[in-house]
Structure 1
């Protein structure tokens, strides 16, 4: 059976996810925060396993116009829910509404839930409440400009949860966000790579996983594994193929931080990800860092202090960055920060600035190309 599928991602990374899907062989259609494609059960397993930039993969069950709650109930009821939900399915319902006549998400959830309960009860000839004691099938009703889209989530915990992060410092960068930052650069496994403010190591670890072609979902579980109609052998086969696709390459990845405790945490995370020996970690102050390699890529997510004293310290760090890396003429350098005055303190205007949202936080990706 072929499904209409949708990959979701942080705003600003749609082109990255579409490129990933294209490289896996899918035709795509891009919308804001979403990339649409078609696929079967094997493709659900493959895309959950391989997409580095996406948040989750959903099945689009139905799409229809809706202008009243009575209409919503009838059209939700008309869906062949028994094709997806067993009698004991646990099916939490989430709702979103954008510029639509039906704007109360609580009512949308309640009516959707009632319609599904009635349909399942009728199909299985059961009176009363459903047990909901089985596997979870998260359902979302998204209404935009009076067009409702009903989806089932196949991912579960967001795809950024790779399964390797044992510990982290304050305000860690999500794994899929870090991978997307790398994929926005020209880096490849033959080039040097540096993260001089590595924190818990996420950017360097994601670079190593990209360089070695390690599928990001290899060490985690997905909610579709609990779907009674899903062929479990498909994921097992995809994981075996992914293991065989890992490349034995020598990588030149360097990651440093002024805090030895963070370096220790980064090493633990890298070890769990299976890339500890592919990254050189070092505790060193940024102003003391010397880079001898040529033609590399540097990505940094420097800290930003909210209090004035912290802001002064961070601005000093930005100045040190400008001074430390000013002679890396053949390197491409990328800095992610919510401080829009970064260029002023760094000392050089960026080649390009890209607006990104790390959750609800507005950040800019300051890019300095060689």
Structure 2
């Protein structure tokens, strides 16, 4: 166990480079970007840091084995060769899940059963028992088969990293995951010295994620992880990582973050979520239609996730809304504007071609992130900086 582990930060399609940038900012080198995931090296403390700090990744996995498997015997022997007893205690709970794509072993239930059997056989040899209660710490194991290559991983995260904790017990329309909201803010290159406004803020997810970025709040600080109970990831590592994260918070920075939405009930949900996240006073919300929205300040940034109009009856309303945003931006010559939308006619309705576009997937919906860059704020004199 002295060798570094191969860690995998999973990513939604199109967000791999954003996750990689986050890892580099956290100080990791030798990063490998693959479809849907980013590989890096680390140990126990790195598992803790990645889970606490990654804003745009869904999970942090440990790669336990990777080998060719064209038969069930290949899969069994490859899985059994892993020293599972070093990870899983005698009472550990270890469900096995699976996926298979373009592989000869195409039956996922069968593959799950084979891997489970291999792990049980390996643990039997070490613990000298025929039965495991599985009432202790939770170890979710996944076998992934792609082009006859089997990858077996341990999930250190548990519930997806987008579940920050501040939306707990809040029920509302939230089509934008926290991880995607954070990605949009990071792509905009917004920083807390500039005003930020969302005219279609819904339940406030995008603005809360921006506030967390502005104050350098680790998004995983408010939640727990199953790997906190693992013997090979000591409690001291979690304590060190959390202490680092608490020390890194910069809550002395003034935030200029505002949001509005035409739905008064949704605005109330946004206020509750912001308060739960610790930004009840810092983020300002108002019930207001886009046609009346006029944010204050200069050199600000608008980032928004306007309604998609998936039903035919809503398409005219969405078209009208995008046109209104275009009119609004004409009154804000120093501002930059960013919107994620599945509409192929967005630029037509908005009235101006985007400076840049980026394909992203909001869930299973293919979208474009339309980016309109305004002028940068004037540089401050050196002594003022």
TM more than 0.5: yes
5 Å-filtered alignment, 1:212-231, equals 212-231=215-234
After the TM superposition, list the runs of 4 or more consecutive aligned residues in structure 1 that deviate by more than 4 angstroms.
none
SS at match of 1:179: helix
Contact 2:158 2:226 in 1 (8 A): yes
CA distance in 2, matches of 1:292, 1:193: 10
* CA distance in structure 2 between the partners assigned to 1:171 and 1:283 by the alignment: 17
Task: Tell me what 1:75 maps to.
Answer: 78
Please report how far the alpha carbon of residue 156 of structure 1 lies from its aligned counterpart in structure 2 after TM superposition.
0.3
Equivalent position to 2:350, from 341, 346, 351: 346
- The offset of 1:284, in angstroms, is 1.2
Could you give the per-residue CA deviations for residues 215-266 of structure 1, whole angstroms, max 9, x where no partner exists? Answer: 1001000110121332112212221221121111001111111112111111
In the superposition, relative to structure 1, how do residues 157 and 33 fare at CA in structure 2: closer, same or farther (>3 Å)? same
Please say if 1:181 is aligned against 2:184: yes
Equivalent in the alignment of 2:53: 50
Q: Deviations over 1:24-60 (max 9, x none)?
A: 1111111111111111111110110011111010011
* Counterpart mapping for 1:297-312 below 5 A: 297-312=301-316
1:206 corresponds to 2:209: yes
What is the DSSP-based 3-state SS (H/G/I as helix, E as strand, rest coil) of the residue aligned with 2:332? Answer: coil
Structure 2 unaligned spans of 5+: 375-385
Q: Aligned partners of 1:238 and 1:292: how far apart in 2? A: 38
Cα distance between partner residues in 2 of 1:334 and 1:48: 28
SS at match of 1:353: strand
Tell me, in whole angstroms, the C-alpha distance in 1 between the residues paired with 2:8 and 2:38: 6
| Range moving further from structure 2, 111-120 or 339-348 | 339-348
Normalising by structure 1, we get a TM-score of 0.97
1:359 matched to 2:367? The reply is no
Partner of 1:261: 265
Match of 1:277, SS state, is: coil
The superposition leaves residues 314-356 of structure 1 with CA deviations (integer Å, 9 ceiling, x where unpaired) of 1111111111112322222111112222222222221222111
Matches within 5 A, 1:104-123: 104-123=107-126
What is the match of residue 277 of structure 2?
273
**CA separation of 1:321/1:168 partners in 2, compared to 1, >3 Å: closer, same or farther?**
farther
CA offset digits 1:271-308 (Å, max 9, x no partner): 11111222111111110111331111111101122222
CA contact (8 A) 1:48 1:155 kept: yes
Secondary structure, aligned partner of 1:67:
coil
CA distance in 1, matches of 2:281, 2:172: 22
After superposition, give the CA deviation of every residue in 1:104-160 in whole Å (9 maximum; x if it has no partner): 111111111111111111221112x32111121011111212211110000001000
2:378 counterpart residue number: none
Q: After superposition, where does 1:1-370 map in structure 2 within 5 Å?
A: 1=2, 2-27=4-29, 28-127=31-130, 129-166=131-168, 167-247=170-250, 248-370=252-374
Q: 2 CA distance for matches of 1:337 and 1:178? A: 13
- Higher alpha-carbon deviation: 64-73 or 230-239: 230-239
Contact 2:357 2:368 in 1 (8 A): yes
Contact (CA 8 Å) 1:168, 1:200: kept in 2 or not?
no
| Deviation for aligned residue 1:168 | 4.2
How many residue pairs are counted as aligned between the two chains?
A: 369
Distance 2:17 2:281 in 1: 32
Task: Using the TM superposition, name which of 91-100 and 265-274 deviates more.
Answer: 91-100
Q: CA RMSD in A?
A: 1.3
